Structure 1
């Protein structure tokens, strides 16, 4: 069975962190997804489609217990905080 691009996003751009007291919030998680899509030259799906896909992948976007990881994390941070560049 082919891996969905949402599952690939989770694998490449996030790291589970069950002990974190500061998990990615919904808007940040979606922003990270958009950065990941741009790096892979994919058209990001809507926020609603993203949230539904996260539920299908067992992720609660309000309590994700995920941290950013990889090139998409760097892209997202630089896009969100241009003064950090």
Structure 2
């Protein structure tokens, strides 16, 4: 994953809440990432590449204070929701 690609993902789809006790799960991070890639027209990298990139930025994918933001968050949430009547 290029630094620019990952930096764009962090800037556009992730926010941090240092006071939060529970951040995003790995499943949610990867889902948000794939939604962001789809909306951005960027090819998605593998989960392993995403985890390596997060760790290189000092973010622990399994224990974090991350939150979703922006259009990718809405896309991910809507695509994850069960069919509504």
Aligned partner of residue 67 in structure 1, secondary structure: strand
Q: Which runs of 5+ in 1 are unaligned?
A: none
SS at match of 2:67: strand
Secondary structure in structure 2 of the residue aligned to 1:15: strand
Deviation of the 1:82 alpha carbon: 4.0
Give yes or no for contact 1:16–1:65 (8 Å, CA) kept in 2: yes
CA distance in 2, matches of 1:31, 1:15: 15
What is the aligned residue count? Answer: 84
Matches within 5 A, 1:1-85: 3-83=3-83
Q: Aligned-residue CA RMSD in angstroms? A: 1.8
- Greater mean alpha carbon deviation, residues 18-27 or residues 34-43: 18-27
- Corresponding residue SS for 2:83: helix
Give the TM-score of the pair, scaled to structure 2. Answer: 0.89
Change (3 A) 1:40 1:78: same
